[in-house]
Structure 1
Amino acid sequence: MNIDRFIEARKRMGFSQSELAENICTQATLSRFENQGQIPTLKILMKLCTRLNISLGELFPKVEVENSEITKKMNQAEFLLITSEYEQAEQLMTAIKLSDIEEANTWLRYHYLNGFIMFFRQRPLIDVMFVFDQILLEKEAANTEIFRLLAYTGIGMIYSRENEDEKAEFYFNKVIEQIYHYPTKNTEDTWRVLHIVFQCGVFYAHIKELAISNALLTYAVTICSDNHVTYYLARAALQLAKNAITTNEPEETILELIYDARAYSKINRNQIALKELAQMEEEVKCTKE
């Protein structure tokens, strides 16, 4: 209960405690509310708020009202990040004011989402690095482990894009050492672990460590299966197909992976993946002819 907001309104209206309490409650009741936090009956509280021309809702913590809308936008943005709809995700995040965020873990989530969306939207990498560094420098928030792992992943991706593969591998190794032991407690945790494992798999495919890449991507598929999450199945199967092409696997093996990825993409309505898969299938069939 935001009692300070109540007292501020009383003083702004020029009421003493006894004047505000007149014909509503005793001055002692009002004093116990303001000084000791002893809340009167709802009927009395509503009458006092009406006299002060404020709503009862204004006395509840502001952060809860703000974060309900902020959390809703972040949930949508995080889902769009998973489905590669980066432009729409960016629009949602742009609508959130950082100054409106008061809870530390929401602040960390804001930066994690912004960092990856900026990366995929081809924003300057020095700006993206700054976003991830803010996560790593945060000391006050509780339950920061998953956000630190996401920041390490993001920094690894930055170095990989800059063709600094040794530096990138340093960060991806830090992630892999810990991610297998991270306990997922909710859907968002599962999404984040999948995001990390998938991006690690993509990096190791990039540096031609395909055995490691395949192990990570297979692990991602297992997570999806165990948690009944389909959003990363298509992307993991797509990368496995790319790896199979690189290692010159038989055509039937590659096409099976492509068809699996297509089925998952149709379920998730991932048009970006479907377009890439159609092109891959055509190239594979042409190459083998």
Structure 2
Amino acid sequence: MNIQWFIDARKARGLTQSELADGICTQATLSRFENNGQLPNLKILIKLCNRINLPLSELFPIVGVRYSEVVEKMNKAEFYLITSKYEEAYQLINSIDIETIEDEHVSFRYYYLNGFIMIFRQQPIMDILFTFDQVLLEEETKDSLIFRLLAYTGIGMVYARENDLSKAEFYFNKVLEKIYNYPVQNMEGTWRVLNIVFQCGVFYSTIEELEISDALLNYAVTICSDNHVTYYLARAAIQLAKNAILKKESKDKILELIYDARAYSKVNRNEIALAELIDLEQSVLLDM
């Protein structure tokens, strides 16, 4: 509850505590509310709010329709993120006023999403690191762990983008120490673990640690299969095909991975992945 808004509204109308309380409650009741956060009964609170023309809902900015709309926007933004629709995700996140969010879990989710979207939109490194710091500088709790791991992953990604691979590996290693033991409890948790595992797989391919990369990507495929999630199957298969090319495996093996990725991409209607696969297949066929 934002009691300060109540106090500011009273003072803006030039009323003392005694003047506002007159005929509604005792001045002591109002003082205990404003100074100690002790709520009067709902009837009294409504009358006090009405006298200063303050909607009761303004005291509860994180509940009701307004809060539901924020969560719904984040749900859609997270879905756009995992389906590579970064501009759509950006438009949703950009429409959220972080100052209205008081729930720590929701705030962490906002910063994780914003940080990843900033990476894919090629935003400056310092801005991205500052965004992830909003998660990492808070005390670690059981609920915040997955967002901390996502923040470490994002930092690793941005250092890899800047070709500072030693720093990138430092952060990816921090993630790998904990992600295998993270208890996934719902579908959103599955998406987030997949995001982490996939991005780790991509990084280790970048530094040509292909055995580690393949193990992570195949782990991502297993998670998808066990949880009936298809969104990362295409991306994992594409990266496995790229790894197979680097390892100079047989053309048949590479094409099989490409065709698997194409099938997954069609199911998910992932036009970005399909376009990438056309180029990848053509490059393989030209070498045959």
If the TM-score is normalised by the length of the shorter chain, which range does it land in? 0.7 to 0.9
Q: Secondary structure, in 3 states, of the residue corresponding to 2:62?
A: helix
Contact 1:104–1:140, Cα closer than 8 Å, also in 2: no
Contact 2:258–2:277, Cα closer than 8 Å, also in 1: yes
How far apart are 1:45 and its partner, in Å?
10
The sequence identity of aligned pairs, in percent, is: 61
Matches within 5 A, 1:138-217: 138-139=138-139, 143-217=143-217
Q: Deviations over 1:183-207 (max 9, x none)?
A: 0111111111000000000000000
Q: Aligned in 2, Cα 1:6/1:223: closer, same or farther, shift over 3 Å?
A: same
Q: Extract unaligned runs of 5+ from structure 2.
A: none
Counterpart CA distance in 1 for 2:20 and 2:122 is: 59
Aligned residue pairs total 276
Q: Deviations over 1:55-99 (max 9, x none)?
A: 77667x331133211111111111111011111111111100111
The alignment's TM-score, normalised by the length of structure 1, stands at 0.83
Q: Deviations over 1:81-138 (max 9, x none)?
A: 1011111111111100111111111111111011110010001111111111221101
- Output the amino acid matched with 1:158: V
Q: Aligned in 2, Cα 1:70/1:249: closer, same or farther, shift over 3 Å?
A: same
- Output the amino acid matched with 2:176: I
Q: Aligned in 2, Cα 1:2/1:280: closer, same or farther, shift over 3 Å?
A: closer
Within the alignment, does 1:62 sit opposite 2:61 as a pair? yes
Q: Deviations over 1:133-171 (max 9, x none)?
A: 221101276611111111111111111112111111111
- Output the amino acid matched with 1:68: S
Matches within 5 A, 1:182-261: 182-261=182-261
Q: Aligned in 2, Cα 1:119/1:6: closer, same or farther, shift over 3 Å?
A: closer
Matches within 5 A, 1:255-274: 255-274=255-274
Counterpart CA distance in 2 for 1:54 and 1:100 is: 17
The alignment's TM-score, normalised by the length of structure 2, stands at 0.83
> What stretches of structure 1 move > 3 A for 4+ residues in a row?
1-12, 14-20, 34-41, 44-59
How far apart are 1:176 and its partner, in Å?
0.6
Contact 1:3–1:37, Cα closer than 8 Å, also in 2: no
- Output the amino acid matched with 1:148: R
C-alpha RMSD of matched pairs (Å) = 2.9
Counterpart CA distance in 2 for 1:134 and 1:141 is: 14
Contact 1:105–1:141, Cα closer than 8 Å, also in 2: no
- Output the amino acid matched with 2:256: E
Q: Secondary structure, in 3 states, of the residue corresponding to 2:122?
A: coil
Q: Extract unaligned runs of 5+ from structure 1.
A: 21-26
Q: Secondary structure, in 3 states, of the residue corresponding to 1:63?
A: coil
Matches within 5 A, 1:95-106: 95-106=95-106
| Residue of structure 2 in register with 1:123 after alignment | 123
Contact 1:172–1:200, Cα closer than 8 Å, also in 2: yes
